[in-house]
Amino acid sequence: MTGATGTPPLARYRAEFPVFDGQIYLNTCSLGALSRRSRARVEAFLDEWDRRGAAAWYDVWWAALENLRQRYAGIIGAGVGEIALHASVSTATGVMASALDYQRRPRVVTTSLDFPTVAYQWLAKRPLGVEVTVLESPDGISVPLEAFADAIDERTALVATSHVFFTSGSILDIAAVAELAHAKGALCYVDAYQSVGQVPLDVRATGVDFLTAGGLKWLLGGPGIVFLYVREALVSRLRPTVTGWFANEQQFRFDPRALELHRDARRFEQGTPALAAVHAQLGGLDVLDEIGLDAVFAAVRELADDLVARAAEAGLRPKVAVQPARRSAIIMIPAADPQAEVRRLAEAGIVADARPGHVRLSPFFYNTPDDHQRAIDVLTT
């Protein structure tokens, strides 16, 4: 796409996202843009709340939760019974971590490139005897499979890592990691917050046991709504010890003496979901469904290639995976003072983000090669 003239076809959806009024948004990996459809869905939710109060719970709002579980399942090729809704990756992994047995297998293997809230779940359990092994990355881009293979042993309960690393945008071969974990009798959890919506993911084909993703970034749902996938064969074997009434099959008996966990992945849920976030997410999914996820993935791929090529051509030395197939649309540009660069971009009307040592640019289907060039022009002057 480098040097291509004309606007990519999906950029016509830009009008759906008011954040583009008067500026260029290149920061989807921090927060996906708010669509008009999300706003309309949230407004409809608020109207219902005004009009009917709690009566809306038992039909439209309950149905919205079911609809969302189903749509999340569809996106990753899971069954609806494998999906639990949560407010954040932290709460979802907290519940999941509470269901594992660390007696015989006290170790959890994670990496220095994973989002830290993942490791925190198990660092917090160190007083209970849990050991956390953090694999280092030799290049700051990815972690070699050999490092996983060396670290996973018969004392390992879980390997917890990411599909796309938030620090580098690199795509990890999670099917291979799951295989290494299973070969030693361990389970595998994947934080896919930075992948679902921007790169294809067929969760069953990967063989992973647990996976989280959600609205904040590439699914255009905003904060407050994520999902936890639990592989079907595991669901009934695991009993979370951090829980709540939404995990209870007999939720509306209100009996404090009996906890009968759902037979499906809802046994990993906790309390009342943030319904405004649920509706914002449904609006974001409406946009993605209308475009079609395959078209989104193809557009993202082209945009990522374009941005990497332009940045390299301009001498910005983008830090990305060597193999193009391992790259995503999170592109790190080395910078001595990334905060200052982000401020300069903001002054030029471009929204980007900083991470230690880097400016982080993340185009999505609503971006164009012209957006890339404008950012590069600022970064090179």
Contacts with ligand PLP by CB under 6 A lie at 88-90, 115, 117, 162, 166, 191, 193-194, 216, 226
Q: Smallest distance from the beta carbon of 280 to ligand PLP, in angstroms? A: 15
Nearer to ligand PLP among residue 20 and residue 166 (C-beta): 166
Q: Smallest distance from the beta carbon of 214 to ligand PLP, in angstroms? A: 7
From CA 62, how far away is CA 93, in angstroms rounded? 24
Q: CA angle at residue 178 from 157 to 202, to 5 degrees?
A: 130
Residue 228: beta bridge partners? 84, 212
Q: Smallest distance from the beta carbon of 315 to ligand PLP, in angstroms? A: 28
Alpha helix (H) residue ranges in 314-351 = 338-347
The closest of 116, 217, 114, 214 to 172, measured between CA atoms, is 114
From CA 291, how far away is CA 147, in angstroms rounded? 39
Beta strands in the chain (DSSP E): 24-25, 83-86, 107-111, 131-135, 156-162, 187-191, 210-214, 226-230, 331-334, 350-351, 353-355, 358-361
Q: Smallest distance from the beta carbon of 211 to ligand PLP, in angstroms? A: 12
Nearer to ligand PLP among residue 102 and residue 193 (C-beta): 193
Task: Give yes or no for a contact between 190 and 206, defined as CB atoms under 8 angstroms apart.
Answer: yes
- Nearest-Å Rg of the Cα atoms of the chain is 21
Nearer to ligand PLP among residue 48 and residue 191 (C-beta): 191
Nearer to ligand PLP among residue 88 and residue 156 (C-beta): 88
Q: Smallest distance from the beta carbon of 255 to ligand PLP, in angstroms? A: 31
Q: Smallest distance from the beta carbon of 197 to ligand PLP, in angstroms? A: 12
Side chain identity at 350, as an amino acid letter? Answer: I
Q: Smallest distance from the beta carbon of 337 to ligand PLP, in angstroms? A: 23
Q: Smallest distance from the beta carbon of 333 to ligand PLP, in angstroms? A: 18
DSSP notation for 3-70: T--S--GGGGGGGG-GGGTTSEE-BTTT-PPPPHHHHHHHHHHHHHHHHHGGGGGGTHHHHHHHHHHH
Nearer to ligand PLP among residue 90 and residue 251 (C-beta): 90
Residue 132: beta bridge partners? 108
From CA 313, how far away is CA 2, in angstroms rounded? 10
Nearer to ligand PLP among residue 56 and residue 208 (C-beta): 208
Nearer to ligand PLP among residue 148 and residue 166 (C-beta): 166
Q: Smallest distance from the beta carbon of 232 to ligand PLP, in angstroms? A: 24
Nearer to ligand PLP among residue 90 and residue 98 (C-beta): 90
Nearer to ligand PLP among residue 1 and residue 203 (C-beta): 203
- The residue whose two tokens read 């005004």 is 50
